[in-house]
Amino acid sequence: MRSSVLLPATLVAFVLVENAIFNSGRYARIVKLDSSAGNVEQILWNEKSRARDHRPQVVAVGDSRMGFFVRYADQTKPALEEQFATIAVPGSTPRDWYYLLRDIDPRANRYAAILIPMDDYDDAETLENRADRETDLHYLIAVLHWRDLFEFPESYQSRELKFRAALGILLKGTVYKADFQDLLLNVPERLRLADLARNYSAQWFYNYVGSSDSLAGTKVDWAKKTVTVPPGVSPDKEAMVRSRLFDPRPPDEHRASEYLHHWLGKIEQRYRGSRTRLIFFRLPRGPFVRPDPPPFNAHSSVRDLAKNANVIVENEDDFDFLERPEFFLEALHMNAAGCAEFSRALAAHVQELLDAHAL
């Protein structure tokens, strides 16, 4: 009889203590800086604590391809009518963007516009099933709560990942386990680095320049399907360009489109009826553009969302001028020069779009 009472009581006590440590928000502040969770924490902290002026606020989401550097918008003369920020996180996905926006804008009223980058407007199929990207749990662990116990795990398709996601939300220590073990090895150093990041990481992110590496001089023979890179470009980068240009496209299973409809649709629904505009635009596709684009999809996520009053879809070709090898460090990511040109152009486009679609 005693054990039948003691066991449940012990379990409840464990859950309460575990959540007091990992679910209060305090632990997220000292997560290892070079981890996915630590990177997200610093980006969100910087956005929540940055100084805002009187201008309308515009924030960008995205992954590592979103080469938008706020300082180039700030350097524009005369000053732009909007103040820009970014919470783009390398490796993040549209599912992440929804929860990150919810965290920094809990009332859905902080921003005049949200910038949402797209690889294409046709929901082109990808080899990866992003619905089953397990790392999303690690990126979002600090901003997920018990109220997400159904929706977030159910967004995975794998039964095993559904279980891991639910367990992670209930017992965040299962996700923070390796980080907590690392913390115990040197508590003072971890606390010192966390304090350093709180005070200076906004400056680090703001002043980041990007890589000066370039694919300038690279030649593509479309008939022979060959890529020739100049001296100094690594074989890995050459292979990446070749794969990007000549590998067969994955068969269209409508998996990517279903995923994008769901998560971009949830972002739109969250801001529907507000004064926040969602601005979709196509990123520069790469240093070279393959001649066989994805099949046109009249009912892609972006084209369907464009029917809503709070959505602005920029012309697909507005950033085509950057699709040159001198603006890319490899097949996917712009280099420092490309990011600078892109940032200036995007900020100018946003101001024009908001002026043209004034509420």
Per-residue pLDDT at 9 exceeds 70: no
Mean pLDDT of the chain: 93
Enclosing domain of residue 39 = 2-356
Sign of CA dihedral 45, 151, 254, 125: positive
Mean pLDDT of 32-55: 94
State the CB neighbour count (10 A cutoff) for residue 45.
Answer: 17
pLDDT band at 20 (very low <50, low <70, confident <90, very high): low
Q: What is the pLDDT of residue 357?
A: 79
Q: What is the pLDDT of residue 223?
A: 94
State the CB neighbour count (10 A cutoff) for residue 197.
Answer: 21
What are the φ/ψ torsions at residue 219 (nearest 5 degrees)?
-120, 140
Q: How far apart are CA 318 and CA 345, in angstroms?
A: 9
pLDDT band at 25 (very low <50, low <70, confident <90, very high): confident
Please report which residue ranges of 247-335 form alpha helices under DSSP H: 255-271, 301-305
Residue-wise pLDDT for 181-231, tens only, equals: 999 999 999 999 999 999 999 999 999 999 999 999 999 999 999 999 999
Q: What is the pLDDT of residue 7?
A: 47
Residue-wise pLDDT for 152-183, tens only, equals: 999 999 999 999 999 999 999 999 999 999 99
Residue-wise pLDDT for 328-359, tens only, equals: 999 999 999 999 999 999 999 999 999 887 76
Sign of CA dihedral 33, 37, 39, 40: negative
Secondary structure in 3-state letters for 125-175: CCCCCHHHCCHHHHHHCCCCCHHHCCHHHHCCCCHHHHHHHHHHHHCCHHH
Mean pLDDT of 259-276: 97
Pick the closest to residue 278 from 269, 268, 292 (CA basis). Answer: 268
Share of the chain above pLDDT 70, in %: 94
pTM of this prediction exceeds 0.75: yes
Mean pLDDT of 59-70: 97
Per-residue pLDDT at 21 exceeds 50: yes
When divided into structural domains, the chain yields a total of 1
Per-residue pLDDT at 85 exceeds 70: yes
Per-residue pLDDT at 2 exceeds 60: no
State the CB neighbour count (10 A cutoff) for residue 207.
Answer: 9
More confident residue, 4 or 344: 344
Residue-wise pLDDT for 269-328, tens only, equals: 999 999 999 999 999 999 999 999 999 999 999 999 999 999 999 999 999 999 999 999
